[in-house]
Amino acid sequence: MSLLVQTLSINERQSILDAVKCIESGNLQIAFVTTDDMLLLGVVTNGDVRRYLLQGGQTDLPVTACMNRQFRAAHSGATREELLKIFDLGYTAIPGLDADGRLVEVYTRQMAASAEAPVLARARAPVRMSFCGGGADLTYFFIDHPAAVLSCTVGLYAHATLIPRGDRQIRIFSEDLGREEHYGSLPALLAANEKSLLATIVAVIKPKYGFDLYLRSDFPVGSGLGGSSAATIASIAAFNELRQDRWSTYEIAELAFQAERLCFGIAGGWQDQYASAFGGFNLIEFENQRNLVHPIRLEEAIRNELESCLVLCDTGISHDSGRLHELQREEIEAESSQNELLSASVALCRRMHRYLVRGELRDFGLCLDEAWQLKKQFSSAISHGRLDTIYEAAIKAGALGGKLLGAGGGGFFLFYVQPQDRQRVVHAVRAQGCQAQNFRFESSGVTSWRTKI
């Protein structure tokens, strides 16, 4: 029982004079008449007492003689909205009753705001679909040669949930890998010899509190969609949600590159982190001094038509993008012809950008084939017999062009197909043991929010 209930309640057997004393003891000028077990029978105010006495009533009679039985009450736990509406009708105090009609609370116009509740942070980051320029985003190339990548994001996400703890423990759960990691504190995590990618992200951020971190994805591991970068971006964004001085989108992407490429050691370029962080269609330029993300504004008709003409195909073959990027780096350093191939890829990227913006999608689709033919020359590990067979089957069925997403070796194929040929292409890739994956373009990048625990 609250102190206000104790102060303002009076037993039904007490006198009217006792009620006056109860009313005058507080500044709400009201008393609540209850039974022995706190059932609310009525309310009494100074006005009720005055009217009763003017009619010849006696102050030594029970308070029930002058109480008002027609009172307004609220259920215990009523929402602020409900209470404000009652107060706005002119009431200064509202009795709060339990399910049996017992007085358990008295609400006033000075009711406090709800106490601050613990919160958790959530974030999701989309994967990217790269059209052209992949490989040119490797530092070993663009440190001396300006580079560009054309990509977009699709509605397949990595999801992160961050729940702060009251102690210093750190627990990390990866649903995709079926892996759990437990550390007694941040120093224990930092001292660990072998860390997962998620633990490496924590080591880079160095949060000052304990937490539980959960990660899950809408896509398979080794898909070629930049999934590890999406997971990294989502995890960093969840921590960012709880910061007072939040990192910018560029800073989130750069922290992700640091954690994934430099600290955890997955070889690769820069495009995945920027694409997942910024979202939408982008031309991303790389150079020695600064990387820049240029958003592409597409007419709605162009965007819808492109979405209708692309077929995303899961080969079911997983790949190790890090190892493929290591091989490409070795070949770049060993052969000057690699630089020529990458420069040709950048030139093609800029041409595809122009086609895309102008809505010249047939030419854009044909360029996907050029991009694939260039990509296969980067390394002998990018394609193999089965992948070539899948590609040839799709082209024979009517696809104008296509390319393997990601570093190569497996993952997802992307084909450009006119609507009238779509069904034949889907049947052709299914006959090769592949599965067409429905998707929608995603215009937003990483998003984060917080909610009460």
For the segment 189-199, what is each residue's pLDDT rounded down to a tens digit?
Answer: 999 999 999 99
Residue 366 amino acid letter: L
Cross-strand pairs, 32: 9, 43
How many C-beta atoms surround the C-beta of residue 267 within 10 A?
A: 18
Percent helix, percent strand, percent coil in the chain, to nearest 5:
40, 25, 35
Does the structural domain 120-442 have CATH classification 3.30.230.120? yes
Q: b/e string for 96-109 if b means 16 or more Cβ within 10 A? A: bbeeeebbbbbbbe
Q: How confident is the model at residue 15 (pLDDT cuts 50, 70, 90)?
A: very high
Q: Give me the percent of the chain exceeding a pLDDT of 90.
A: 78
Three-class secondary structure of residue 362 per DSSP? helix
Residue 358 amino acid letter: R
In the chain, ranges of CATH 3.10.580.10 domains:
3-108
What are the structure tokens assigned to 26, written together?
A: 């507080």
Tell me the H-state helices in 242-360: 249-257, 271-278, 300-309, 321-334, 336-358
What are the structure tokens assigned to 253, written together?
A: 């992407």
Helices (H), strands (E): how many in the chain? Answer: 16, 19
Q: Is 80 exceeded by the pLDDT of residue 379?
A: no
Residues with Cβ < 8 Å from 339, sequence gap 6 or more?
Answer: 141, 145, 332
Separation between Cα atoms, residue 64 and residue 16, nearest integer Å: 8
pLDDT digits (tens, 9 = 90+) for 282-297: 999 999 889 999 999 9
The residue among 3 and 181 whose pLDDT is bigger is: 181
Q: Is 70 exceeded by the pLDDT of residue 324?
A: no
- From start to end of 23-146, where are the E strands? 30-34, 40-45, 74-75, 93-97, 103-108, 119-132
Q: How confident is the model at residue 320 (pLDDT cuts 50, 70, 90)?
A: low
Separation between Cα atoms, residue 372 and residue 369, nearest integer Å: 5
Active site residue 272: yes
pLDDT at 410: 80
Query: Catalytic one among 137, 218, 272, 421?
Result: 272
Instruction: Please give the model's pTM, rounded to 2 decimal places.
Output: 0.84
Backbone angles phi, psi at 106, to 5 degrees: -125, 120
Looking at domain 3-108, its CATH class is alpha beta
CA 74 from chain centre, in angstroms, equals 38
Residues with Cβ < 8 Å from 52, sequence gap 6 or more?
Answer: 16, 65, 66
Q: Is 80 exceeded by the pLDDT of residue 328?
A: no
Kindly give the interhelix angle for 336-358 and 321-334, rounded to the nearest 10 degrees: 120
Q: Is 60 exceeded by the pLDDT of residue 411?
A: yes
In the chain, ranges of CATH 3.30.230.120 domains:
120-442
